[in-house]
Amino acid sequence: MRRFDFAVGRTNPETFPVDRVQRAAKTAIANEYAQLTEYPGKLGHPGLRAAMAQREAEREGAAVDPDAIALMNGSMQAVTLTAEALTAPGDTVICEEVTYSGTIGAYRTLGIDMVGVGVDEDGMRVEFLEETLDRLGEARKPKFIYALTTYQNPTGTNLSLERRHRLIEIARARDIPIVEDNCYGDVHYDGEKPPALYGLTDYENIIYMCSLSKILAPGMRLGYLYAQPRLLETILARRHDAGGNYLAAAVVAELYRDGVWSLTEELNTSLKVKKNLVVDGLADAAGDICASSNPSGGLFVWVRFPEDVDQAKLARLAAERGFFYASGANFHIHGDEVPYLRLAFGHVPDDDIKDGIPILAQCLREARTSNEAPGFQGLFD
């Protein structure tokens, strides 16, 4: 059976630069084989750290010290390690109420008490942050605030500039670190986007993480953490993996010798086509019963459907027809069933998007238990 797999976030294999990666590997292995026989250390490959510092500086217009960057085995290692270093079981952390399922899984394992703040079209609803913190009091004062500021997963929203400033202000006033996960930051299609938090402030307690999984390939397992010395040391003291992958880092440093942008642009151009196929396809086939995000970046479209959809039936019908998606409950910090689903489109061939979305729409219709109007206008109202 033909398979329409929108479940897991991936990049586009069609634009993977096979020849360039092969050439980079040949050069890196020749030049750096001796370093390969050493342990990489807690920071990792200097060339890749320099390239990532340059990437950050060019994107955010702020100076970034390569020695404040530690390479990680994907940004998930940064997420996990930061939580391990800064929390003990039972500690509280603030997150967007719907957020990345990998982070939720790691936090759950670590026994972290996740407290959610809602999300709307401008990202985390920072206007509710202070009352949440007041309610938690000193006893449950969060160890940090975890925020997917840009192209939030799963909602695709960007935290507005005003909210970014407000978030920093509140965190600073209460001395709470912010963990800013910007792993989708360069999967950018159009429009302006606000700077990363670290580019807006001198507040020292920001732990920033980014990735190459979204602009190159998740199998490279390359991400990084950027923080000021005190927090960086605290987090790296918890690191006991003898360092990140040096082969992958050396190859990718060579690949990005002239910066990340030309390859990233090529990928993003292809992704924007796919994103539009998803958004337009949904509007055509299910505009009467669904609302969807139309993100200016990232790898996901977030879809709202009527409350009367029987989600178990939807999952069964879709699977029977070869269509796979991630259900909203995966992204809810408490696993609550919510009338949303997420479509990951980065790796899906254009034709599969065109043919797949009407199948999803049909499944949604068949899984409804009433014929009433959906009762919402937009994604968040």
- What residues make contact with its own copies under the rule CB under 8 A? 8, 10-13, 16, 18, 21-22, 25-26, 29-30, 33-40, 73-74, 76-77, 79-80, 102, 105-106, 109, 213, 217-221, 237-238, 240-248, 250-251, 347
Write the CA distances from 46 to 84, 186, 224, 240, 263, integer angstroms.
Answer: 25, 21, 12, 19, 21
DSSP 240-255: -SSB--HHHHHHHHHH
In the complex, the smallest distance separating the C-beta of residue 106 from its own copies, rounded to whole angstroms, is 4
Q: How many CB atoms lie within 10 A of CB 377?
A: 8
Please, which residue, 18 or 139, has the CB nearer to its own copies? Answer: 18
What's the min distance (Å) between Cβ of 264 and its own copies?
A: 14
If the CB atoms of residues 16 and 376 are measured against its own copies, the closer one turns out to be 16
Tokens of 290: 């669904």
What are 75's two structure tokens? Answer: 């940004």
Residues 6+ positions from 218 with CB-CB distance below 8 Å: 9, 10, 11, 74
CB nearer to its own copies: pick between 25 and 283? 25
Least spacing, CB of residue 310 vs its own copies, in Å: 30
Nearer residue to its own copies within complex by CB, 123 or 346: 346
CB of residue 280 to its own copies, shortest distance in Å? 24
Q: Give min distance, CB of 107 to its own copies, in A.
A: 9
CB of 85 to its own copies, least distance (A): 9
Nearest C-alpha neighbor of 46 from the set 35, 62, 56? 35
3-state secondary structure of 166: helix
3-state class of 180 per DSSP? strand
Residue with Cβ nearer its own copies (73 or 182)? 73
**Burial per residue of 83-118, b for 16 or more beta-carbon CB atoms within 10 angstroms, e otherwise:** bebbbeeebbbbbbbbbbbbbbebbeebebbbbbbe
Which CB, 41 or 195, lies closer to its own copies?
41
